Amino acid sequence: MDNSMKKRWISLYVENQVGVLSKISGLFSAKSYNLDSLTVGTTEDPTISRMTIATVSDDETFEQIKKQLNRMIEVIKVIDFTDIFVRMKEILYVKVFHCTPAAKVEVFQIAETFKAKVIDYGRDSVLVEFVQTATKNDAVVKLMKEEFKSIEVVRGGSVGIESISMMER
Amino acid sequence: MRKITGNKLLVRALKEEGVDTIFGYPGACTIDISDELYKQDDIRVILPRHEQALVHEADAYARTTGKAGVCLVTSGPGATNLVTGLATANYDSVPLVCFTGQVAKNLIGNDAFQEVDIVGITRSITKYGVTVRNREDLGRIIKEAFYIARTGRPGPVLIDLPKDVMGELGSPDYPDTVNIRGYKPNTSVHMGQLKRALKMLKKAKKPLFLAGGGVNIARANKIFTEVVNKTNVPVVTTIMGRGAVPTNHPLFIGNLGMHGQYAANMAVEECDLLFSIGTRFNDRITGKLHAFAPNAQIVHIDIDTASISRNIHVHVPIVADALEAVTKMNEYVESCETDEWLARIRAWKEEHPLTMKNYTHMTPMDIIEEMNRQFDDAIIATDVGQHQMFVTQYAEITEKKQLVTSGGLGTMGYGFPAAIGAKLGNPDKTVIAISGDGGMQMNIQEFATAVLEELPLILCVFNNEYLGMVRQWQKLFYGKRYGMTNMRSGAMYRRTNGEQMPEYTPDFVRLAESYGAKGIRVTKKEEIAAAFESAKAETKVPTLIEFIIDPEDLVYPMIQPGGTLEDMIMDC
């Protein structure tokens, strides 16, 4: 057993019904499990939604989380993403305000380096869209905070799917 | 096809599910259902005096009949009054199907009169809960509710019924099959794991069975007793597991845990194999976790995967229904060499027997032992507190007896309504409730229900004028500062600095009489037998027997919360 706290990922198939999201998030708060990120959307079958959940926990707690999710009537399937190859990305928007011309150049350079897109542009502000792993987004947010005085950040939370080939992230 | 209203379909569904009794309290949002129930005779409708008591009655009805208990209450306060009872049932794995009224769909979310989000409120204390939003889903949802409540690890299910949906016309059909893609309860046993566990059992020098409530819920007691007989392995139980083997069985040691027998706790400490079935290793039985069964390999059979390896590390996990598992065990078990081990356990029993015989006044033990003598075919319901622990220590639970108690949630006010529910489900059995003076007053209004339903219950109130279990902690760990536990304290007590107190309120005997029930007060040992005899003679009215108990009588032994065996208090 590994007792260290690590970030772990779960993918859930759930019934697309009223109250299911609340039930899943309620489980995390009721049992004091960490809930780092949760995304949800419908699948190719409109009666089924799929969630991608990130949690920071030790092995024992993580086992409990999976069991508790599994016993919920509305949960159809629990997939542990920890040890399988998955494709996983998160969308991140960063708006930079009060840019000097030099600062704008820097935003563009950062965007280019991270293969991000500048999607909107004003007199003294720039909006950049990043689609990459959450870890990389963490790095971007840290960097942008250091470089610029005034920024606005919104993140979507990760969505993940199992790889077809043996590729990761 | 003739269309019918949702209200009509509900009543039809109840009949198809074999429901013979429902516990209901009416209101504006369920009046149409009351009307449909009025028009038929197959289902008996019980009208308790409070929804909390109502759900406890349905709960005990379910525990003692094996059927699902069915509740029908109105929206808003009717629904919120279920909360404690739902949590009680959820914790003790009791199958309930609770229907709550709801305001019409177009009013939901408007803070309408008597509107609450009861599905949201009860989400973490039910096995499943759902609002019926479309009339065409009603039949399927009811069918699924009964299935979910009864199967796997049983539990309460709540169905919220908006008034307009119930009034809508729709299909009269009630489905006869269920298919829930996210819910497939386990029905088999992993034989490889089980055989591995049995091999360990055979090899162990000091094997011990630990039976929890799961054995009783699965009604596996008989076969489990056969397994115990064949193996010659001693048994300890949790309080919910009491009766898994008859308590007079020579291999039964006692309950383990906070107020468990010395010998039972010592056996857990020393055993080298703890073979546990249907328990979740609650903190009240384990005490400090790292000191629990420190020398043992642990086998754990449970229907609920989430109960396994949660509180303690398990070496051989087996996910299975207790009856399935025990039946398979019965085919394969062999006799174990346990004579030496049994002798050691006997020595512990002799060293610290469980007894209150050293007191000269009337003790809870005297009362419970007289009850053991006089009744061999009975259901015993308890409330929560000292009296409950005394019952779990001294009450004999043999084949024809059953203990009904709120073991998990520890709900005061459970005992009296539980006795009513048990008697309604088992009219031929003697039903005895044992409560404290505190818990008895939490649902005292149910005297009306018991009297009107002509239930000859025997209601024992252990009156020590205090909230005794809390007082016990205050006496042992809080320097005898009896804050908030004195049932006679009030204005007079404060005015006179505790010098004077009024007489005890209520006068339980006169209170019983005011409802048309019988009341007897017992203050001396010599009066116990006659009081029970007199209660037994009643066939139509409940008898309340108030036993005047010394508040200084504490429940021993006791392991401090979160403590270990070294902290066990044997006596003051």
A22: closest CA of chain B, how far (Å)? 8
Q: What is the pLDDT of residues A96-134, one digit of tens each?
A: 999 999 999 999 999 999 999 999 999 999 999 999 999
Quick one: average pLDDT of A76-97?
A: 95
Give φ, ψ of B384 to 5 degrees: -130, 135
Which residue, among A71, A72, A79, would best test binding to B if mutated, counting the most B CBs under 10 Å from its CB?
Answer: A71
> pLDDT category, B572, cuts 50, 70, 90?
low
pLDDT value, residue B561: 84
Of B119, B180, B305, the CB nearest to A71: B305
Annotated catalytic residue B469: yes
Closest-CA distance, A127 to chain B, in angstroms, reads: 38
User: Alpha-carbon dihedral of residues B266, B270, B272, B276, nearest 10 degrees?
Assistant: 20
pLDDT tens-place string over residues B16-74 = 999 999 999 999 999 999 999 999 999 999 999 999 999 999 999 999 999 999 999 99
DSSP, res B234:
-
* A22 interface with B at CB cutoff 8 Å: yes
- Cα distance between residue B325 and residue B211, in whole Å: 13
Q: Is B199 a catalytic residue?
A: no
Mean pLDDT of B11-16: 98
Q: How confident is the model at residue B566 (pLDDT cuts 50, 70, 90)?
A: confident
The residue in chain B having the minimum alpha-carbon distance to the alpha carbon of residue A62 is B310
All residues of chain A having their beta carbon less than 8 Å from the beta carbon of residue B123 are 19, 22-23, 26
pLDDT value, residue B256? 95
> Which of chain A's residues have a Cβ under 8 Å away from the Cβ of B137?
none
Looking up tokens 């150049």 gives A105
Tokens encoding B504: 């005890």
Q: Which residues of B198-227 are buried (b: 16+ CB within 10 A; e: fewer)?
A: bebbbebebbbbbbbbbbbbbebbebbbbb
Q: What is the dihedral of CA A113, A115, A116, A117, to 10 degrees?
A: 110
Judge whether residue B240 has pLDDT over 90.
Answer: yes
Q: Which residues of chain B are within 8 Å of residue A23 when distances are taken between CB atoms?
A: 123
Where helices occur in chain A by DSSP H, the ranges are 20-30, 59-70, 101-113, 134-147
Set B3, B15, B40, B113: catalytic member: B113
Which pLDDT score is estimated for A166? 75
3-state secondary structure at position B450: helix
Residue B144: CB atoms within 10 Å: 21
| pLDDT above 80 (res A1) | no
Residue B472 has pLDDT above 60, yes or no: yes
- Mean pLDDT value across residues B199-218: 97
Mean pLDDT of B174-195: 95
Q: Which helix (H) or strand (E) holds B332?
A: helix B322-332
- Residue A58 vs residues A5, A27, B178, B319, B431: alpha-carbon distances, Å: 5, 17, 37, 23, 48
Cβ neighbours of A63 in B, within 8 Å: 309
Place of tokens 């002509």: B454
Task: For residues A10 and B338, give the distance between their C-alpha atoms in angstroms, rounded to a whole number.
Answer: 47
Contact B281, B214 (CB under 8 A): no
Q: Tell me, yes or no, if A74 comes closer than 8 A to chain B by beta carbon.
A: yes
Kindly report the pTM of this predicted structure.
Answer: 0.96
Q: Residue A10: exposed, middle, or buried by beta-carbon count in 10 A (0-12, 13-18, 19+)?
A: buried
Selected residue with higher pLDDT from B289 and B77: B77
Assess whether B51 carries a catalytic annotation. yes
Give the pLDDT of residue A2: 62
How far apart CA B528 and CA B147 sit, in angstroms, is 45
Q: Which of A19, A67, A76 sits opposite B305 (nearest CB)?
A: A67
- Tokens at B219, concatenated: 């009604």
Query: What pLDDT score was predicted for residue A168?
Result: 58
Neighboring chain A residues of B305 at a CB cutoff of 8 Å: 67, 70-71
Q: What is the pLDDT of residues B502-558, one digit of tens each?
A: 999 999 999 999 999 999 999 999 999 999 999 999 999 999 999 999 999 999 999
Radius of gyration of chain B from its Cα atoms, rounded to whole angstroms: 24
Q: What is the mean pLDDT of residues A39-57?
A: 97
Nearest of B349, B340, B347, B339 to residue B263 by alpha carbon: B349
Neighbours of A58 (CB within 10 A): 14
